[in-house]
Amino acid sequence: MYTSIRLTKVKRFNRHNVETFTRQTHANITRFDANMAKYQFPPFLRINRKVNCRKIIEGDEEEIAKANRYMKFNQPKRITEEEYIAETNNCNNFVNRYKNDAYTVIQEEREFPIAFSILKFKDVDQTERLLRSIYRPHNFYCIHIDNSSSEELHKTLRKIANCLNNVFIVSKIEDVIYNHVSRLRADINCMTDLLSKSNKWKYFINLPHQQYPLKTNLEMVKILKIYSGASDIEGITSRLKYYQFKYSYDYINYSLKCIGPKNGKLPYNANIVKGSAYGIFSREFVKYVIYDKKAKDVLKYMEDIESPDEYYWATLNHNEILKAPGRFIGNPEKKPWLATYASWPPRDRCHGKIVREICLYGVGDLNELVSRKELFANKFYPDYQYLAMDCLEEYIHNKTFSPLPFDSFYYKQLPFIRKP
């Protein structure tokens, strides 16, 4: 319970001016408020003064065109591995520069830790930026680096993890191969480590380094509390790619090759369900994946299909016979999926560019992204339309300090919010 309430005059720096506003604060969460007037946003959050992120997010076409012109003639300022290594030689300097401890955490957040995994193979600055956006000292973070990634990348991320007590590199690293079971094993390895690290976290969210949050940590906590043990895993039973699971595949001469028809049937007479490699998993679901015989048998069966990461979670979550905790009982096609938003043209709009059928977001996509109900957006490139991620970072940062009203009604009406 909050012990007292007061109204405090504070100053908010929005990169273009300074405004004074009145905020309701509570006695046990005012550590940051007390120093807000003196707080200067660190350089990495200062958007270029040539553009106005607020106008871009509001969909102002003139400002969007201005941002596009600016990006055409100005390259993004990237942080190199060497710079990160130099910064992390002194962890105090690293934390002070990147402000990993900048955000106030209220009791509601502390009582509901979240575990994350980040899968990466390049772009250390984008990974650090994602980590910074979701970092809270009471959460837990597992980073999986491809075994084939450069030695410098491994060294840099290990040094970053060494500066943050609740961030670690996975204990078993996979050489992740596209469409191969190694992608799935990378997540399972992080799940195993996270279970051993703490018995406190409530949910697990797996992320590629090219995603970025659409919600603040507090908003995620409120959403996951409403989920109440249900997992949020995509399920597709139409539009199945039968060639992916009707045949066996093996990694031969640096590529995945079909080696013949798949033998046997899916264990327990379960049905194949397709979905995303990414999801929101309850702690009980994670324990089921790691320890339950049914889950292990399904994994064994799927080890030689193509893209098992797109079938394993979905099949476990949408088969009543497999008895996964937090599973969805009903037609998978009618279940909303809110783990991440990806735009698939021509079904969805895309103001950026299309790469392998998916949209790489640009500044013109921000107006829609900030209105989405999903927790994350996929995907962004650090060297393409880079102001899109800059402005989204500014938006999430400012929303953390000045929270918007939370739409609990929408999430409470979701059809999977139930316990089996």
Average pLDDT, consecutive stretches of 10 residues, N- to C-terminus, the chain (420 residues): 33 36 32 39 55 95 97 94 96 90 90 97 94 96 95 96 97 94 97 97 97 98 97 95 96 91 95 97 98 98 97 98 96 96 94 95 98 97 95 92 90 83
- Distance (Å, rounded) from C-alpha 237 to C-alpha 318? 10
The verdict on residue 249 lying in a domain is: yes
Write down the residue that tokens 């979240």 correspond to.
114
Structural domain includes residue 33: no
Q: Residue 148, CB half-sphere, CA atoms under 13 Å: how many?
A: 6
- CA 356 to chain CA centroid, nearest Å: 20
In this structure, is residue 18 part of a structural domain?
no
Q: Taking each helix axis as running N to C, give the angle between helix 124-134 and helix 386-401, from 0 to 180 degrees, rounded to the nearest 10.
A: 20
Please tell me the distance from the alpha carbon of residue 107 to that of residue 113, in angstroms, as a whole number.
Answer: 11
DSSP letter assigned to residue 246: S
CA atoms of 228 and 231, how far apart (whole Å): 9
Q: Which helix (H) or strand (E) holds 222?
A: helix 217-227
Q: How far is the CA of 410 from the CAs of 7, 26, 114, 253, 279, in angstroms? A: 30, 27, 21, 49, 19
Six token digits for residue 31: 């550590």
Considering 306, 310, 374, 393, which one is annotated as catalytic? 310
Exposure b/e, 147-159, CB count within 10 A at least 16 = b: eebeeebbebbeb
Residues paired with 355 in a beta bridge: 358
Is the pTM for the entire model greater than 0.85? yes
Q: What is the pLDDT of residue 403?
A: 85
Ordered DSSP codes for 252-309: ETTEEEEEEEPPS--GGGPPP-B--S--EEEHHHHHHHHH-HHHHHHHHHHTTSS-GG
C-alpha separations of 213 from 96, 114, 354 in Å: 22, 14, 20
pLDDT at site 229: 96
Residue 102's φ and ψ, nearest 5 degrees, are -75, -30
Name which of 322, 314, 330, 335 is nearest 288 in CA terms: 322
Q: Three-state DSSP class for 336?
A: coil
Domain assignment present for residue 250? The answer is: yes
Where does residue 123 fall: left (phi above 0), alpha (psi -120 to 50 degrees), or beta otherwise?
Answer: left
Q: How high is the pLDDT of residue 15?
A: 36
Q: Please tell me the total count of domains within the chain.
A: 1
pLDDT for position 45: 52
The C-alpha torsion from 197 through 198 and 199 to 200, rounded to 10°, is -150
On whether residue 74 sits in a domain, the answer given is: no
Strands lying side by side in the sheet with 376-378 = 211-213, 376-378, 340-341
**CA 39 to CA 42: how far, in whole Å?**
9
For position 241, what pLDDT does the model report? 93
* Beta-carbon contacts of residue 254 (< 8 Å; ≥ 6 apart): none
Beta strands (DSSP E) in 93-186 are 114-120, 140-145, 167-169
Q: Does residue 85 fall inside a structural domain?
A: yes
The two beta strands, 203-208 and 114-120, are: parallel
Asked whether residue 41 is assigned to any structural domain, the reply reads no
Q: Which residue blocks in 163-216 are alpha helix, DSSP H?
A: 181-197
Domain that holds residue 280: 79-420
Question: Is residue 20 included in any domain, yes or no?
Answer: no
310 is catalytic: yes
